[in-house]
Amino acid sequence: MIALDLQAFERGTLAAPHGFSPRSGGVSGAPFASLNLGASVGDAAPAVAENRRRVRAAFGVPEARWMTASQVHGAQVLVAGRDPVGAEGDALVADDPTWALAISAADCLPVLLLDVRTGAVGAAHAGWRGAVAGVVGATLEVMAARYGTAAADVRAWLGPAIRGACYQVGPEVVDAAIAAGAPEDAVRPDRGAAGRWRFDVPALVRAQLIAAGVPAEGVATSATCTHCAADRCFSHRRDAGRTGRHWAVLRPPG
């Protein structure tokens, strides 16, 4: 069988196995070429199954121990080993190193969290709706209640996502973002389109993490914009919805 090299994944500095899957290295044909991991985007099921097998093999975790969610742009948090795999939610947590968490994305921001004291982890899918709904704060709260996580012990990696220069939104989104704690540099008027704004979701989520008590120096952000990096990333907005999905993967250390 063809293997996918873990070095192909973009990674942050978390002291746990993690990464954001590449666009290449799979078997899907256009417009999902080639490592599409989304099973509900119109790609052939056998191709998606093989692509997912390659990702699972790269992390050395069997299929039965992958925690995923049916993502709905909300703030529901699922617990690996307790909640059904694939249940409705937008965040996942675990402290058992036999589990891997996988968040699906193709512009939305994947947020990976590690408690460096307990080894507990969390992964959140933060599009603008999830971000303003407080999905990241909800993930920290569940980690605190279930694993005793303190925000000061959390390190975060904000993975590839559509960035502000490419993400045009209307005033209703800006109002929601500001109410959710967006800093000044997260929302800027679009000089080329009256009544439109450019919104940087990673800047909002970073501010939310710091406000929750995560050390500023412990929050790392990918420089990759999924909209810009057509050779490396799927992008729902750039490709008008006809595109593949990445996985942002995180496993507890151990």
Going from the C-alpha of 35 to that of each of 4, 72, 139, 157, 240, the distances in angstroms are 10, 23, 28, 22, 18
Query: Does residue 31 have a cis bond before it (omega within 30 degrees)?
Result: yes
Residue owning tokens 């590690």 = 114
> Among residues of the chain, what percentage have pLDDT more than 90?
98
**What's the mean per-residue pLDDT of the chain?**
97
- In CATH, the number for domain 6-160+224-250 is 3.60.140.10
d(C-alpha 244, C-alpha 27), whole Å: 12
Mean pLDDT of 32-49: 98
Q: Is the dihedral of CA 167, 168, 174, 176 positive or negative?
A: negative
Query: By C-alpha distance, which of 237, 109, 205 is closest to 161?
Result: 109
Q: Using N-to-C axis directions, what is the helix angle for 201-211 and 135-147, rounded to 10°? A: 40
Helix H or strand E encompassing 115: strand 109-115
pLDDT of 82 > 90? The answer is: yes
Instruction: Give the closest residue to 158 by CA, choosing from 199, 195, 208.
Output: 208
- In this model, does residue 1 exceed pLDDT 70? no
Q: What is the pLDDT of residue 3?
A: 78
Q: Which of 21, 29, 28 is nearest to 5 (CA)?
A: 21
Q: How many helices (H) and strands (E) does the chain have?
A: 5, 13
* Cβ contact 246:160 at 8 Å: yes
Predicted local confidence at residue 2, as pLDDT: 76
Q: Tell me: pLDDT of 188 over 90.
A: yes
Task: Note the Cα 214 to chain centre separation in Å.
Answer: 18
- List C-alpha distances in Å: 200 to 74, 188, 203: 18, 9, 6
How many residues are there in the chain? 254
The helix, strand and coil proportions of the chain, stated in percent and rounded to the nearest 5, come to 30, 20, 50
Q: Where are the domains of the chain?
A: 6-160+224-250
pLDDT at 229: 98
pTM higher than 0.95, yes or no? Answer: yes
More confident residue, 37 or 2: 37
For 110-165, what is each residue's pLDDT tens digit?
Answer: 999 999 999 999 999 999 999 999 999 999 999 999 999 999 999 999 999 999 99
Report how far residue 167's alpha carbon sits from residue 154's, in angstroms, rounded to the nearest whole number: 28
Is residue 215 over pLDDT 70?
yes
